[in-house]
Amino acid sequence: MHILVTGAAGFIGSQLSRRFLAEGHTVVGLDILNDYYSVELKKARLAVLLEDSRFRHAHIDLADRDAMARLFAEEKFTHVVNLAAQAGVRYSIENPHSYVDSNLVGFCNVLEGCRHNKVEHLVYASSSSVYGLNTNMPFSVHDNVDHPISLYAASKKANELMAHTYSHLYRLPTTGLRFFTVYGPWGRPDMALFLFTKAILEGKPINVFNEGKMRRDFTYIDDIVEGVVRVTKRTPVPNPDWTGAAPDPCTSPAPYRIYNIGNNNTVELGRFIEVLEDKLGMKAQKNLMPMQPGDVAATYANVDDLIADTGFKPSTTVEEGISNFVDWYRDYYKV
Protein backbone atom coordinates (compact mmCIF):
# COMPACT_ATOMS: atom_id res chain seq x y z
CA MET A 1 0.00 0.00 0.00
CA HIS A 2 1.02 3.61 -0.60
CA ILE A 3 -0.59 5.33 2.37
CA LEU A 4 -1.30 8.91 3.36
CA VAL A 5 -1.43 9.26 7.15
CA THR A 6 -2.59 12.73 8.18
CA GLY A 7 -1.57 13.84 11.65
CA ALA A 8 1.55 11.67 11.35
CA ALA A 9 3.45 13.60 14.03
CA GLY A 10 0.56 13.07 16.43
CA PHE A 11 0.21 10.39 19.08
CA ILE A 12 -1.79 7.81 17.09
CA GLY A 13 -0.51 8.88 13.66
CA SER A 14 3.16 8.39 14.53
CA GLN A 15 2.62 4.95 16.04
CA LEU A 16 0.41 3.87 13.14
CA SER A 17 2.96 5.09 10.58
CA ARG A 18 5.68 3.06 12.31
CA ARG A 19 3.51 -0.02 12.06
CA PHE A 20 2.75 0.49 8.35
CA LEU A 21 6.45 1.00 7.62
CA ALA A 22 7.33 -2.15 9.57
CA GLU A 23 4.93 -4.06 7.31
CA GLY A 24 6.75 -2.79 4.20
CA HIS A 25 4.32 -0.11 3.02
CA THR A 26 5.31 3.39 1.89
CA VAL A 27 3.92 6.27 3.94
CA VAL A 28 3.54 10.00 3.38
CA GLY A 29 2.95 11.61 6.75
CA LEU A 30 1.11 14.92 6.59
CA ASP A 31 1.45 17.21 9.61
CA ILE A 32 1.54 20.99 9.96
CA LEU A 33 3.13 20.70 13.45
CA ASN A 34 0.78 23.16 15.11
CA ASP A 35 1.50 24.30 18.66
CA TYR A 36 -1.66 23.04 20.40
CA TYR A 37 0.87 21.05 22.45
CA SER A 38 4.66 20.60 22.44
CA VAL A 39 6.08 20.89 18.92
CA GLU A 40 9.30 19.35 20.23
CA LEU A 41 7.47 16.12 21.09
CA LYS A 42 5.94 16.06 17.61
CA LYS A 43 9.36 16.58 16.04
CA ALA A 44 10.78 13.75 18.14
CA ARG A 45 8.04 11.40 16.90
CA LEU A 46 8.74 12.49 13.31
CA ALA A 47 12.48 11.95 13.72
CA VAL A 48 11.86 8.27 14.44
CA LEU A 49 9.76 7.94 11.27
CA LEU A 50 12.27 9.79 9.09
CA GLU A 51 14.89 7.14 9.85
CA ASP A 52 12.98 4.96 7.35
CA SER A 53 13.54 5.87 3.67
CA ARG A 54 9.98 4.80 2.82
CA PHE A 55 8.57 7.66 4.91
CA ARG A 56 8.20 11.25 3.72
CA HIS A 57 6.91 14.19 5.74
CA ALA A 58 4.50 16.58 4.00
CA HIS A 59 4.34 19.89 5.90
CA ILE A 60 0.89 20.86 4.62
CA ASP A 61 -2.15 22.39 6.28
CA LEU A 62 -5.16 20.10 5.85
CA ALA A 63 -7.30 23.19 5.18
CA ASP A 64 -5.09 24.32 2.24
CA ARG A 65 -7.25 23.20 -0.67
CA ASP A 66 -4.73 23.70 -3.47
CA ALA A 67 -1.82 22.09 -1.63
CA MET A 68 -3.97 19.10 -0.70
CA ALA A 69 -5.16 18.68 -4.30
CA ARG A 70 -1.55 18.73 -5.54
CA LEU A 71 -0.45 16.19 -2.96
CA PHE A 72 -3.17 13.72 -3.94
CA ALA A 73 -2.57 14.22 -7.67
CA GLU A 74 1.19 13.67 -7.33
CA GLU A 75 1.18 10.73 -4.94
CA LYS A 76 -1.78 8.61 -6.12
CA PHE A 77 -2.30 7.02 -2.72
CA THR A 78 -3.93 3.60 -2.51
CA HIS A 79 -5.14 4.19 1.05
CA VAL A 80 -5.68 7.21 3.30
CA VAL A 81 -5.91 7.27 7.09
CA ASN A 82 -7.10 10.68 8.28
CA LEU A 83 -6.09 11.30 11.89
CA ALA A 84 -5.29 15.03 11.62
CA ALA A 85 -7.77 17.12 13.55
CA GLN A 86 -7.94 19.85 16.13
CA ALA A 87 -8.24 17.71 19.25
CA GLY A 88 -9.68 18.31 22.70
CA VAL A 89 -13.23 18.62 23.99
CA ARG A 90 -12.59 21.54 26.38
CA TYR A 91 -10.45 23.47 23.88
CA SER A 92 -13.36 23.41 21.40
CA ILE A 93 -15.37 25.55 23.81
CA GLU A 94 -12.67 28.25 23.74
CA ASN A 95 -11.54 28.06 20.09
CA PRO A 96 -14.41 26.88 17.91
CA HIS A 97 -13.02 28.20 14.60
CA SER A 98 -9.95 25.96 14.74
CA TYR A 99 -12.27 22.94 14.75
CA VAL A 100 -14.18 24.16 11.71
CA ASP A 101 -10.92 24.74 9.78
CA SER A 102 -9.26 21.40 10.58
CA ASN A 103 -12.13 19.03 11.20
CA LEU A 104 -14.63 20.22 8.57
CA VAL A 105 -12.77 22.14 5.84
CA GLY A 106 -9.73 19.89 6.13
CA PHE A 107 -11.81 16.72 6.01
CA CYS A 108 -13.64 17.95 2.92
CA ASN A 109 -10.26 18.40 1.21
CA VAL A 110 -9.35 14.81 2.12
CA LEU A 111 -12.65 13.51 0.74
CA GLU A 112 -12.15 15.45 -2.51
CA GLY A 113 -8.60 14.14 -2.86
CA CYS A 114 -9.80 10.57 -2.40
CA ARG A 115 -12.68 11.03 -4.82
CA HIS A 116 -10.63 12.49 -7.67
CA ASN A 117 -7.66 10.14 -7.35
CA LYS A 118 -9.40 6.77 -6.99
CA VAL A 119 -8.25 6.02 -3.44
CA GLU A 120 -9.24 2.44 -2.59
CA HIS A 121 -10.20 3.07 1.05
CA LEU A 122 -10.44 6.10 3.33
CA VAL A 123 -10.20 5.39 7.05
CA TYR A 124 -10.78 8.34 9.38
CA ALA A 125 -10.78 9.07 13.10
CA SER A 126 -14.11 9.73 14.71
CA SER A 127 -14.48 9.76 18.49
CA SER A 128 -16.40 8.26 21.40
CA SER A 129 -17.49 11.84 22.11
CA VAL A 130 -20.11 11.55 19.34
CA TYR A 131 -22.27 9.54 21.76
CA GLY A 132 -22.96 12.77 23.65
CA LEU A 133 -26.12 12.56 25.74
CA ASN A 134 -26.60 8.87 24.91
CA THR A 135 -26.57 6.85 28.17
CA ASN A 136 -27.24 3.38 26.72
CA MET A 137 -24.18 1.40 27.87
CA PRO A 138 -22.01 0.06 26.40
CA PHE A 139 -22.06 2.52 23.50
CA SER A 140 -23.01 0.70 20.31
CA VAL A 141 -22.34 1.80 16.73
CA HIS A 142 -25.96 0.84 16.08
CA ASP A 143 -27.16 3.57 18.51
CA ASN A 144 -28.39 6.99 17.39
CA VAL A 145 -25.77 9.72 18.04
CA ASP A 146 -27.58 12.96 17.24
CA HIS A 147 -27.00 14.83 20.50
CA PRO A 148 -23.31 15.82 20.84
CA ILE A 149 -22.40 18.14 23.73
CA SER A 150 -19.21 19.77 22.42
CA LEU A 151 -18.23 21.29 19.09
CA TYR A 152 -15.41 18.74 18.88
CA ALA A 153 -17.98 15.92 19.09
CA ALA A 154 -20.23 17.68 16.57
CA SER A 155 -17.32 18.02 14.12
CA LYS A 156 -16.60 14.28 14.40
CA LYS A 157 -20.25 13.40 13.82
CA ALA A 158 -20.16 15.75 10.83
CA ASN A 159 -17.17 13.82 9.46
CA GLU A 160 -19.20 10.61 9.58
CA LEU A 161 -22.05 12.29 7.69
CA MET A 162 -19.70 13.81 5.11
CA ALA A 163 -18.01 10.44 4.57
CA HIS A 164 -21.36 8.75 4.03
CA THR A 165 -22.26 11.29 1.39
CA TYR A 166 -19.08 10.51 -0.57
CA SER A 167 -19.58 6.78 -0.14
CA HIS A 168 -23.10 7.15 -1.49
CA LEU A 169 -22.45 9.59 -4.35
CA TYR A 170 -19.03 8.39 -5.53
CA ARG A 171 -18.86 4.83 -4.13
CA LEU A 172 -15.77 5.85 -2.14
CA PRO A 173 -15.22 3.16 0.52
CA THR A 174 -15.00 4.89 3.91
CA THR A 175 -14.60 3.59 7.45
CA GLY A 176 -14.97 5.77 10.55
CA LEU A 177 -13.33 4.73 13.81
CA ARG A 178 -14.67 5.96 17.13
CA PHE A 179 -11.65 5.96 19.45
CA PHE A 180 -12.11 5.67 23.21
CA THR A 181 -9.64 7.59 25.48
CA VAL A 182 -6.33 6.54 23.94
CA TYR A 183 -3.25 6.46 26.18
CA GLY A 184 0.28 5.05 26.25
CA PRO A 185 3.92 5.87 25.39
CA TRP A 186 4.45 8.97 23.19
CA GLY A 187 1.00 10.17 24.30
CA ARG A 188 -0.54 13.65 24.24
CA PRO A 189 0.65 16.09 26.95
CA ASP A 190 -2.84 17.61 27.22
CA MET A 191 -4.44 14.33 28.31
CA ALA A 192 -4.97 13.11 31.87
CA LEU A 193 -2.27 10.44 32.13
CA PHE A 194 0.45 12.79 30.89
CA LEU A 195 -0.75 15.70 33.04
CA PHE A 196 -1.09 13.54 36.15
CA THR A 197 2.32 11.91 35.75
CA LYS A 198 4.10 15.25 35.27
CA ALA A 199 2.36 16.87 38.25
CA ILE A 200 2.88 13.93 40.63
CA LEU A 201 6.59 13.69 39.81
CA GLU A 202 6.94 17.46 40.37
CA GLY A 203 5.06 17.31 43.68
CA LYS A 204 2.21 19.42 42.33
CA PRO A 205 -1.54 18.80 42.76
CA ILE A 206 -3.68 17.28 40.01
CA ASN A 207 -7.17 18.43 39.02
CA VAL A 208 -9.57 15.49 39.28
CA PHE A 209 -12.83 16.27 37.53
CA ASN A 210 -16.18 14.95 38.71
CA GLU A 211 -14.29 14.14 41.95
CA GLY A 212 -12.75 11.09 40.26
CA LYS A 213 -16.12 9.41 39.66
CA MET A 214 -15.99 9.70 35.86
CA ARG A 215 -15.58 6.40 34.06
CA ARG A 216 -13.61 5.97 30.84
CA ASP A 217 -12.95 3.11 28.47
CA PHE A 218 -9.18 3.65 28.48
CA THR A 219 -7.67 2.11 25.33
CA TYR A 220 -3.96 1.39 24.96
CA ILE A 221 -2.18 2.77 21.90
CA ASP A 222 -1.03 -0.63 20.58
CA ASP A 223 -4.62 -1.86 20.59
CA ILE A 224 -5.74 1.22 18.68
CA VAL A 225 -3.00 0.73 16.07
CA GLU A 226 -3.82 -2.96 15.63
CA GLY A 227 -7.49 -2.10 15.12
CA VAL A 228 -6.72 0.63 12.57
CA VAL A 229 -4.36 -1.62 10.59
CA ARG A 230 -6.90 -4.44 10.41
CA VAL A 231 -9.71 -2.11 9.37
CA THR A 232 -7.56 -0.38 6.73
CA LYS A 233 -6.98 -3.72 5.02
CA ARG A 234 -10.70 -4.51 5.10
CA THR A 235 -12.48 -2.40 2.48
CA PRO A 236 -16.14 -1.90 3.45
CA VAL A 237 -18.92 -3.17 1.21
CA PRO A 238 -22.59 -2.19 1.02
CA ASN A 239 -24.92 -3.81 3.53
CA PRO A 240 -27.49 -5.73 1.43
CA ASP A 241 -29.91 -5.89 4.37
CA TRP A 242 -29.92 -2.15 5.04
CA THR A 243 -33.36 -0.54 4.88
CA GLY A 244 -34.46 3.08 5.05
CA ALA A 245 -37.50 1.99 7.07
CA ALA A 246 -35.23 0.97 9.95
CA PRO A 247 -31.85 2.54 9.15
CA ASP A 248 -28.74 1.10 10.78
CA PRO A 249 -26.50 4.10 11.64
CA CYS A 250 -23.18 2.26 11.17
CA THR A 251 -23.76 0.63 7.78
CA SER A 252 -25.33 1.66 4.50
CA PRO A 253 -26.31 0.53 1.00
CA ALA A 254 -23.07 2.40 0.16
CA PRO A 255 -19.54 1.10 0.99
CA TYR A 256 -19.57 2.76 4.42
CA ARG A 257 -18.80 1.47 7.93
CA ILE A 258 -18.39 2.74 11.49
CA TYR A 259 -16.59 0.89 14.30
CA ASN A 260 -15.82 1.51 17.95
CA ILE A 261 -12.23 0.85 19.01
CA GLY A 262 -12.23 0.67 22.78
CA ASN A 263 -11.16 -1.70 25.51
CA ASN A 264 -14.74 -2.83 26.21
CA ASN A 265 -14.04 -2.16 29.90
CA THR A 266 -14.95 1.03 31.74
CA VAL A 267 -12.64 2.16 34.58
CA GLU A 268 -13.32 4.84 37.18
CA LEU A 269 -10.90 7.77 37.03
CA GLY A 270 -10.10 7.32 40.72
CA ARG A 271 -8.94 3.75 40.04
CA PHE A 272 -6.86 4.94 37.08
CA ILE A 273 -5.08 7.39 39.40
CA GLU A 274 -4.50 4.64 42.00
CA VAL A 275 -2.75 2.50 39.40
CA LEU A 276 -0.60 5.46 38.34
CA GLU A 277 0.33 6.20 41.97
CA ASP A 278 1.35 2.56 42.40
CA LYS A 279 3.53 2.58 39.27
CA LEU A 280 5.19 5.89 40.23
CA GLY A 281 5.59 4.92 43.88
CA MET A 282 4.17 8.33 44.83
CA LYS A 283 0.83 9.64 46.05
CA ALA A 284 -1.05 12.36 44.19
CA GLN A 285 -2.25 15.59 45.77
CA LYS A 286 -5.81 15.87 44.44
CA ASN A 287 -7.93 18.93 43.73
CA LEU A 288 -11.41 17.43 43.48
CA MET A 289 -13.29 19.40 40.82
CA PRO A 290 -16.83 19.39 39.40
CA MET A 291 -17.66 18.02 35.96
CA GLN A 292 -16.42 20.26 33.15
CA PRO A 293 -18.66 21.60 30.34
CA GLY A 294 -18.63 19.26 27.35
CA ASP A 295 -17.57 16.21 29.38
CA VAL A 296 -19.65 13.06 29.77
CA ALA A 297 -19.87 10.98 32.96
CA ALA A 298 -18.91 7.68 31.35
CA THR A 299 -17.73 6.03 28.15
CA TYR A 300 -17.87 2.30 27.44
CA ALA A 301 -17.37 0.71 24.03
CA ASN A 302 -19.33 -2.16 22.55
CA VAL A 303 -16.80 -3.70 20.13
CA ASP A 304 -18.86 -6.66 18.90
CA ASP A 305 -18.79 -5.41 15.29
CA LEU A 306 -15.01 -4.88 15.35
CA ILE A 307 -14.50 -8.41 16.66
CA ALA A 308 -16.92 -9.94 14.16
CA ASP A 309 -15.40 -8.20 11.14
CA THR A 310 -11.68 -8.15 11.99
CA GLY A 311 -11.21 -10.87 14.61
CA PHE A 312 -9.58 -8.37 16.97
CA LYS A 313 -10.54 -7.29 20.49
CA PRO A 314 -8.49 -4.69 22.42
CA SER A 315 -7.35 -6.28 25.68
CA THR A 316 -4.45 -4.35 27.30
CA THR A 317 -5.21 -3.70 30.99
CA VAL A 318 -4.72 -0.27 32.54
CA GLU A 319 -2.13 -1.81 34.86
CA GLU A 320 0.00 -2.94 31.92
CA GLY A 321 -0.64 0.18 29.83
CA ILE A 322 0.13 2.68 32.61
CA SER A 323 3.28 0.75 33.54
CA ASN A 324 4.51 1.00 29.93
CA PHE A 325 3.71 4.72 29.83
CA VAL A 326 5.55 5.45 33.09
CA ASP A 327 8.61 3.56 31.85
CA TRP A 328 8.58 5.58 28.62
CA TYR A 329 7.99 8.90 30.41
CA ARG A 330 10.86 8.38 32.85
CA ASP A 331 13.18 7.41 30.01
CA TYR A 332 12.13 10.21 27.63
CA TYR A 333 12.22 13.01 30.22
CA LYS A 334 15.06 11.48 32.29
CA VAL A 335 13.12 11.66 35.58
Q: Which residues are catalytic?
A: 152
In whole angstroms, give the CA distance from residue 136 to residue 19. Answer: 34
Q: Kindly report the number of other CB atoms within 10 A of residue 331's CB atom.
A: 10
Question: What separation in angstroms does the CA of 264 have from each of 65, 142, 316?
Answer: 38, 16, 10
Q: How many residues does the chain have?
A: 335
**Which three-class secondary structure state does DSSP give residue 126?**
strand
With H, G, I as helix, E, B as strand and everything else as coil, classify residue 220. strand
* Number of neighbours of residue 120 by Cβ within 10 angstroms: 14
Radius of gyration of the chain (CA): 19
Question: How many other β-carbons are positioned within 10 Å of the β-carbon of residue 75?
Answer: 18
Q: Are strands 267-268 and 215-216 parallel, antiparallel or unpaired?
A: antiparallel
Measured CA to CA, the distance from residue 301 to residue 261 in angstroms comes to 7
